[in-house]
């Protein structure tokens, strides 16, 4: 680091320090700067009682559902553009974007094949969709699209899976798919193996919900403490969002493919002679 860089770093540090100090002095340490109670925000993040959004004027829903629809719409547009304009121009030696798409598909396909070698085609497609949904859905909250609630306030759209209903949907759907796979592949044995893991839908649902909620709550807490509300929420929020997007997508897809592999695994029957000899 030369002299100029040192001076520049010192100036930046001094500016940041002065800004934080000014914030502390001007706003006061014990006041919240948002006119809304942190307890209300956190309670609503868990229970979704306060802020509702009208769905086409038909019913009032949690903002997470609106986020889910928006994410699906974004995926639809993206997939259509890729299908119409990109995939027909695929080359034998791929370019960067083609490489990215192929890597995504291959990663989930190989994960399914590795964890569930008996039956991997459907679960490969499922974890591709689930992983993409969780990852993009979680990153979606970074954009902070505003939506008007029924109470007239404006809120930023959260991640779809920070809504308990979305998380329960993903957990239960994954469990149902695992169960159907087990029944199709192994009949009653597969059903029994799935039932044995009866806590799976609850654990999956609450893992997703808890992970995403914790990120949101920590960010809210940091944001509501005035002294920490300058710059730090951005860092914390982005960090939590990015980490949760990748980690939760990886965890759910790995768990889904592993359990699917377990229940679809063929039971190896012992030969009768060996049994008799053992007896």
Partner 1 sequence: MNGVPLNLDWQQILLHLLNFVILFAILYFLLYKPVKNFMDKRKAAYQEMDDAANAAKQEAETIKAECEEKLAGLDAEMAKKRQEAIDAAQQRAKSITDNASQQASELLAKAEKQAEAERDRIIAEAGAKVTEMAKEAAEKAIFSDTSEAFDSFLEAAEGKNQ
d(CA 33, CA 160): 27
Residues 119-178 that bind partner 1 (CB under 8 A): 124-126, 128-130, 132-133, 160, 163-166, 168-170, 172-173
Find the part of the chain contacting partner 1 (CB under 8 A) among 21-29, 76-84, 217-225, 252-260. Answer: 76-84
Find the part of the chain contacting partner 1 (CB under 8 A) among 33-41, 68-76, 237-245, 264-272. Answer: 68-76
Q: Which is nearer to partner 1, 128 or 223 (CB)?
A: 128
DSSP state for residue 248 in the 8-state scheme: H
Binding-site size, partner 1 (CB under 8 A): 45
Mask for 84-113, x = binds partner 1 (CB under 8 A): ---x--x-x--------xx--xx--x----
Of 146, 137, 187, nearest to 167 by C-alpha is 137
In sequence order, the 6+-apart residues with CB closer than 8 A to the CB of 216 are 45, 141, 158, 159, 162, 240
Task: Give yes or no for a contact between 161 and 267, defined as CB atoms under 8 angstroms apart.
Answer: no
Q: Which is nearer to partner 1, 96 or 276 (CB)?
A: 96
Q: Which is nearer to partner 1, 11 or 59 (CB)?
A: 59
Long-range contacts of 164-167 (CB under 8 A, 24+ apart): 164/46, 164/48, 164/205, 164/209, 165/62, 165/64, 165/65, 166/64, 166/65, 166/68, 167/205, 167/206, 167/208, 167/209, 167/212
Residues lying near partner 1 in the complex (CB under 8 A) are found at 46-49, 55, 59, 61-62, 65, 68-69, 71-72, 75-76, 79-80, 82-83, 87, 90, 92, 101-102, 105-106, 109, 124-126, 128-130, 132-133, 160, 163-166, 168-170, 172-173
């Amino acid at each position: 680091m030369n002299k100029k860089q040192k001076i520049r770093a010192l100036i930046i540090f001094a500016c940041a320090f002065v800004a934080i100090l000014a914030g502390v002095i001007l706003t006061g340490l014990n006041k919240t700067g948002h006119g809304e109670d942190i307890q209300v925000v956190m309670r609503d993040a868990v229970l979704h009682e306060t802020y509702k959004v009208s769905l086409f004027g038909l019913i009032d829903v949690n903002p997470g559902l609106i986020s889910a629809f928006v994410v699906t719409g974004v995926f639809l547009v993206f997939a259509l553009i890729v299908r119409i304009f990109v995939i027909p121009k695929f080359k034998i030696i791929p370019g960067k974007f083609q490489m990215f798409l192929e890597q995504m598909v291959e990663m989930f396909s190989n994960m399914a094949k590795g964890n569930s070698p008996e039956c991997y085609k459907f679960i490969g497609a499922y974890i591709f969709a689930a992983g993409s949904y969780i990852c993009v859905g979680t990153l979606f909250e970074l954009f902070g699209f505003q939506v008007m609630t029924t109470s007239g306030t404006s809120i930023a759209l959260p991640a779809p899976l920070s809504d308990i209903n979305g998380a329960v949907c993903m957990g239960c759907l994954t469990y149902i798919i695992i169960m159907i796979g087990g029944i199709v592949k192994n009949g009653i044995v597969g059903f029994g193996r799935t039932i044995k893991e009866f806590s799976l839908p609850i654990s999956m649902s609450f893992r997703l919900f808890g992970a995403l909620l914790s990120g949101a709550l920590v960010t809210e807490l940091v944001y509501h403490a005035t002294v920490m509300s300058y710059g730090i929420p951005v860092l914390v929020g982005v960090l939590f969002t990015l980490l949760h997007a990748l980690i939760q997508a990886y965890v759910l897809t790995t768990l889904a493919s592993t359990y699917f592999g377990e229940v679809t695994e063929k039971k190896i029957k012992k030969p009768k002679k060996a049994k008799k000899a053992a007896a």
